[in-house]
Each structure stands twice: as C-alpha cells, then as structure tokens.
Structure 1
C-alpha cells in the first residue's frame, strides 16, 4: 500500500545549508552569498564533487520553478483534481484539471449518511485521481472535502475508508474555513490596492461570504444555502414551480438578514467579488466573456441582468438549460436555485454589480499551503 499522503502535514526533510550574506533577496544574489557567514540558506555550500555553479543553479530552479502540487477537491457535485506548479510569492500555474461528477450531496439517505454506493464511487475517484497526480509529477497531494461530506453523519467512517484504500487523507474544511480560504484567494488576485473586499461564493451545499481589508477577513460566514441543496429542498419540479420560486425568494431574504448585517457592519466594500462555477455561469449567461477569453478579462454580474436571467431560465427545463452556453450539464439542474441565492445575497447586501474573480477555494488552499511552507 502506498504511504499515506498527509494533507496539510509538514513533511520532514533534511535541509542542506550554505553560509550567506544576510539582508539580500532573490535567487541571483546567491552567487555572492555562498561564503562563510550566517548559515541561513537552504542549500549546502561545500558539497564534495558539486561545483559552486551547480549549487546556484539548483537554488535558482527551486526558487523559480517551485513544486508541482495536486489539489483534490471533494465537493457536493464533483471531485476535482487541479495540478499546479507553484512557489511561494508567485501565482500558481495550472497544468491540468480533471473532474468526476459524483453528486455526493444527492446520495444522502434518510439518516443523513452517504450511501455505500456514494462512498465506493468516492474511493474509486480518489484512487484514480491520486494515480493521475503521481504520474503528473506531483510532489504533494492536498485533499479536502466540503459541505456534502462534512454534513454526512458517517463522514469519519467514509473518509477512514478512503484513507485505508487509497492512501490519501482527506481534510474536512469547516464552512468558515472555506470562507476564509476563498477570501485569501480573492485578496491575492486583486492585491492590497483593492481596499476592502466583500467576497461571495455559492457552492453546491453552502454559501460563503466574507468582508475584510486584510488576508484574514474581518467576518467570514457560511450558510447552508448552496445551489444543489436548495434545488433538492425547494425546487424539485422541472421546470420549477413559480409559486415555490416566490416562496423561496422570501425565505432567502429572511435567512440572509442577520448575515448581511454582520457583513455590512464591517464597512462598505471597495470591491465586491464572486467566485466559483455558479457565479461564472450566471455572468456568462448575462453577457460576460467566455472562459476561452482567459482569466484576466474583466467579467461582471449586475442585479438587473440577473433578474432578467432568472425570469428566462426558470421557465426552461433542465435539458434546455444544459444547451445554454456557459452552463454545464451537471449544473443545469441547479442553476435556477443558484441564481436565486445570488439575487438574494446581492439584494440583502445592496449590491448592484459584482466582479467575477478567477481564483476561489482551491487557489486559497494552495496559497495557504505555500505560506505555511513546503518542505
């Protein structure tokens, strides 16, 4: 059995050392700093048979190229593997993306347990994706689960089975952790000059919101208002019943009232940003640029455009919505509920326009791991 891959765990390694000139930065200065001195640098200066130039080259490569990481996201709808090249202080560069549609949130029995079939499919997917990550050259795998697994009454049992059969330990993120890590990703994408940022993220099982001026937000909240969850509980018909949509709108307004006050009391945001698939799809459906235009194209979602969109897609069947550009087949059934959550959040927080951020939870997980150190 493969050695257990510990998520977010520090891997102990023997660190070679050099002696260096303090208070200098960047890989180029290493040519100057390899001399007797403080012993702070992470390579050995006097290795028998290894030239000084080779030592400098190795450090340059480790500083610039970084490491290849696999991020395994066990969500309510999909299991998603993102392979990135990353180094501290730089943008993670996506190398490949693979996902499997498991719909775990829809496979909960009357006792709140993930079914045996769902657990088996999860084991198969994690095992397959671990092989993909390994063959892709990933040095570490970071696996995490969100709402569907977190809320299951047999969460520990299922993840123990995953660890035993695949060698991967899946870390369960709390809803607050999701909000904080998403906030970190948004902050790093826009930078300090963006000022106070209000960030929103609609997942399959929950809605995450945060507000702050630093990498650690002043307020980070998670509410059980995910698009998949509300579709199952409120909109079982296809197309959705108009009366139920009206009742759901009123219910969402009531559910968001307290959270909206907490977020608003922190201060008026300079930027409102939204992340993840639901918001990207809604923006695309209201005229934003397609994903093929690249991540740096500005994309927005307006409250007026969203209202018009809801009136349109709520009259369509799931199969018809799946034909729309920007809506994947696995999301077509829950895009109406997602749009209603987005509309309610924007209404509660008095938001007219929000910007779509390319980075979200997965990038936040990567950035936090880089910040805490890769060894």
Structure 2
C-alpha cells in the first residue's frame, strides 16, 4: 500500500510518500516547502496569511498525490498549530479550503512518535532523543528501547530566531538572550539531572549541523555520527557571522541560513545539560513514527 504523510511544522511543511506492507515501509519521495509559519504568528495567533500558506502548500501536496493516483494523504501539525490561540479556526479553514483533516499532535504525542520513528531506524538502545523543530524541542530519555521520561519545550530554531534576532545572524547580545531562554526551559523541564552520553538527533537543525560538520572535517557527507566537540566547534566558528560563515552555510545548508545558529544554541545547551559525548543523526523521525502508529497500527512496544 502507498500513502502520503504531510507534516505541518513551524519552519517547514513536508510531504513524505511511503510504500508499506505489514510492519515494513520504504520512503519513495520526500518534498519540503520552507513555509516559515512561525513568522506568521502575531499576538499568539497564526495570521490569515499564514493559514493561506499552509492551505496552498497542502493543496499542492494533494494535487501531487492525485497525479500519482494516490488517495491517502494523512496530515498532522506540531508546534505550528499547537502553540497558537486559534488552533481550531486554523484547522477548520484548512479543512474547508483543501478538504484535508489535520491532526494536531500534543507535545507528548510528538515526542513519543519521534522516538518511535527514530527507534525504527536503529541505533543505541539507551540514551537521549532530541527533536529540534522550528517551534518546539522534544526531549525523550530512553533505556532498553523504552521511554523513561519525555517532554516538549515551547522553543525551536525558527521561533527563537523570530523572537530575538533582528538581522540574518544573531549578535552577541541576541545569542545571550536565546541561550538564557533555552537554559531556563531546560531547567523547567526538570530532566537536566539525567545523564546520557549518547544523543539521537531528529529534525532539520541536527541534519543541517551534521552536514556542516562533515563538510568542515572533509568526511563522508552521509556520516551520521558526530562527536559533541565537533558540534561545539561548529557553533564557535559560525557565531562569528562573517562572510566565511555565510558562504559555509550556503554551501551545506542554505535553507537553514537564518535558523542554524539558534538551533545550535539549543543543541549545545542540551548536550551540556545531559553530558552528551556523541550525537547520531536519525534517518527517521516523527513522520515515520506517525506512519507506523497512526496508519500501520504498529504500537511502540510491538
């Protein structure tokens, strides 16, 4: 069987088309639109313009699936629709305009589905999963392949950029303000006393950071294991915000040029809080978890 999964995020809206049978699946196509919905939030509400961007993007995805003769398109929203005051109105408008029903995931559901998807991709049986999105960051500690604790923090690479940064790259004062909020959110999560030497990373920020690290080190672009020290060094180099920084980001992760530094501030703070030594970049995440759980009916402990 084949289906499409659309993920309405704060920074990107993504479509993944899968072929699946039983408990096995294969990714056939991935399409990403840099919608930047977090930038359309004013006074806590997603503006009409932002809702229109979501509608146009999803309608385009629907048309793409129709061209392939595929009928099943499942749509879910994360922080982009969860952390606004007009969630119900936005979801209703999307349904009226596109005919698509959007499931808005809770922070706990997003964390659990990110873990289920990442676990399907293999990796360490114990450690910490971090999903740094555009509008939220999910943290899941796991042991023996099972979640021991998890939380969703209302901060992401794009929401922090939108709130604190006036130019393309954050200034020293803006970086300090971002870092203070990140550290306060981590402290509020009350999980910082947990120690996890290994972190599994999910989301665009971590994938972009890995690309930049591999480019700097001259290693295989597909390398997915990054020492924490390399990520810290990457941040120290990029925070200069000079012409070389811009050139480097545009070469390896052009669509993250404005959000990579806020995202790295989150990642570095998480690594410091949990004592992380190595980061592995997961090939799978929340969309694969949604496919398995909501579509294929595979529970986390199957």
Asked if Structure 1 and Structure 2 have the same fold, meaning a TM-score greater than 0.5 normalized by the shorter chain, the answer is yes
CA distance in 1 between counterparts of 2:208 and 2:137 reads 16
CA distance in 1 between counterparts of 2:248 and 2:31 reads 20
Matches within 5 A, 1:316-327: 316=241, 320=246, 323-327=249-253
Contact 1:195–1:270 under 8 Å retained in 2: no
- Closer, same or farther in 2 for the Cα pair 1:250/1:168, shift >3 Å? closer
Say if 2:272 is the partner of 1:347: yes
1:209 alignment partner, one of 132, 139, 142: 139
1:235 alignment partner, one of 149, 165, 173: 165
Tell me the equivalent position of 1:282.
Answer: 209
Q: TM (normalized to structure 2)?
A: 0.88
2:13 alignment partner, one of 71, 75, 79: 79
Contact 2:169–2:258 under 8 Å retained in 1: no
SS in 1 for 2:45: coil
CA distance in 2 between counterparts of 1:252 and 1:115 reads 26
CA distance in 1 between counterparts of 2:88 and 2:188 reads 31
- Closer, same or farther in 2 for the Cα pair 1:247/1:121, shift >3 Å? closer
Contact 2:135–2:158 under 8 Å retained in 1: yes
Count of residue pairs brought into register by the alignment: 295
| CA displacement, residues 300-324 of structure 1 (integer Å, 9 cap, x when unaligned) | 2333222221222222269925753
SS in 2 for 1:261: coil
Larger proportion of strand: 2
Contact 2:118–2:285 under 8 Å retained in 1: yes
Tell me the equivalent position of 1:364.
Answer: 289
CA distance in 2 between counterparts of 1:348 and 1:284 reads 24
**Any stretches of 5+ residues in structure 2 without a counterpart?**
none
2:191 alignment partner, one of 261, 267, 275: 261
Tell me the equivalent position of 1:44.
Answer: none
- Closer, same or farther in 2 for the Cα pair 1:104/1:321, shift >3 Å? farther
Q: TM (normalized to structure 1)?
A: 0.72
CA distance in 2 between counterparts of 1:74 and 1:172 reads 9
- Deviation (angstroms), 1:298: 4.3
CA distance in 2 between counterparts of 1:288 and 1:244 reads 27
CA distance in 2 between counterparts of 1:227 and 1:327 reads 14
CA distance in 1 between counterparts of 2:224 and 2:57 reads 33
**Any stretches of 5+ residues in structure 1 without a counterpart?**
1-66
CA distance in 1 between counterparts of 2:275 and 2:112 reads 22
- Closer, same or farther in 2 for the Cα pair 1:136/1:169, shift >3 Å? same
- Alignment root-mean-square deviation, CA: 2.5
Tell me the equivalent position of 2:56.
Answer: 124
Tell me the equivalent position of 1:113.
Answer: 45
